[in-house]
Amino acid sequence: MKERLTITLDSKLLESLDATIDGVNVRNRSHAIERLLDMVLTQSMTKKAIVLAGGNTLSFKGQHDVPKPMLMVKGRPILEYVIRELKRNEITEVLMAIGHGGEKIVSYFGDGSMFGVSINYIKEDTPKGTANALSLARGLVGSAPFFVINGDNIFKINLKEMYKQHVSTKALATISLATADVTLGFGVTRLDGFKVTRFLEKPANEKGKLVSAGIYLFNPAIFDIIEKEGAARSMLERNVFPKLSSSGNLYGYAFSTPWYPLDSKNIGESLAKLEKIAATFERE
């Protein structure tokens, strides 16, 4: 959907803009402005992402005491699919938040060079929730927006488009949203345009709603909000997002491409679904 707007430009700037119009690649002034804005927003795309790969460990079919993101799907840990998707979106500076069993992640991924990215690690000795894990990255991500990704998802998503929406709406926080027929176990949202007006973490099942898909984009001000929360255990989904939605500071990016998270309560069925999604991706 496109919207009409009126702008005023300096005459010399307008002459430079008109010089880019060739009737083929750039059709008219509106197209020229849209193209230039797209180029600027894409070029400023962040290269940084924090991947949440801590929490409790699991054992399943020969894998003993491993972090959830290290469970294998078609011969690769779930976390590898996450890293490859970040690389596909040209996000190459990864900060991995690990916990108990994190040495298995470090051993597998190292500095990330084998996967075309740079990986550094922060460790949370005792699980205190996703918000507290994120707070360990304060001062390590710079002053620009950055992605935060749950490490136990397999997904395909246009992160560049998500970033452009985040910038254009001047959002403090943008969360990815997928449609789910069964929403039990997910964070469920209500939208008004791009703005999330209500966020319910794991309510009773509601059909045909948009749920949080575990892919977030934050401005660094998020660290101040987490710090104010001040809880011994704080979850983004349960403690932070509902408050952001109430204050009008939470936005949603809806997508329809493949996505599924690991369900630790039903690992076998969950891994089978993840394998179906992984099978649709081209093996790099």
18-66 pLDDT tens trace? 888 878 678 888 888 877 776 565 557 899 999 999 988 888 888 888 9
Would you say 143 and 44 are in contact if contact means Cβ atoms under 8 Å apart?
Answer: no
What local confidence, expressed as pLDDT, does residue 13 receive? 83
Q: Among residues 87, 42, 77, 46, which one has the least CA distance to residue 216? A: 46
What local confidence, expressed as pLDDT, does residue 264 receive? 82
The 3-class SS string of the chain reads CCCCCCCCCCHHHHHHHHCCCCCCCCCCHHHHHHHHHHHHHHHCCCCEEEEECCCCEEEECCEEEEEHHHCEECCEEHHHHHHHHHHHCCCCEEEEEECCCHHHHHHHHCCCHHHCCEEEEEECCCCCCHHHHHHCCCCCCCCCCEEEEECCEEECCCHHHHHHHHHHCCCCEEEEEEEECCCCCCEEEEEECCEEEEEEECCCCCCCEEEEEEEEEECCCHHHHHHHHCCCCCCHHHHHHHHHHHCCCEEEEECCCCEEECCCCCHHHHHHHHHHHHHCCCCC
What local confidence, expressed as pLDDT, does residue 202 receive? 62
What local confidence, expressed as pLDDT, does residue 275 receive? 92
Please give the C-alpha separations between residue 215 and each of 100, 158, 237, 253, in angstroms, as whole numbers: 22, 11, 12, 10
- Low-confidence residues in the chain, pLDDT < 50: 284
Cα–Cα distance, 173 to 215 (Å, whole number): 11
What local confidence, expressed as pLDDT, does residue 192 receive? 86
What local confidence, expressed as pLDDT, does residue 56 receive? 82
pLDDT digits (tens, 9 = 90+) for 227-239: 988 776 789 988 9
Cα–Cα distance, 81 to 128 (Å, whole number): 25
How wide is the angle at C-alpha 194 spanned by C-alphas 179 and 1, nearest 5°? Answer: 90
Q: Which fold has domain 46-279?
A: Spore Coat Polysaccharide Biosynthesis Protein SpsA; Chain A (3.90.550)
Cα–Cα distance, 206 to 183 (Å, whole number): 6
pTM reported for the whole predicted model = 0.82
What local confidence, expressed as pLDDT, does residue 115 receive? 97
What local confidence, expressed as pLDDT, does residue 127 receive? 82
Instruction: Give residue 249's Cα distance to chain centre.
Output: 17
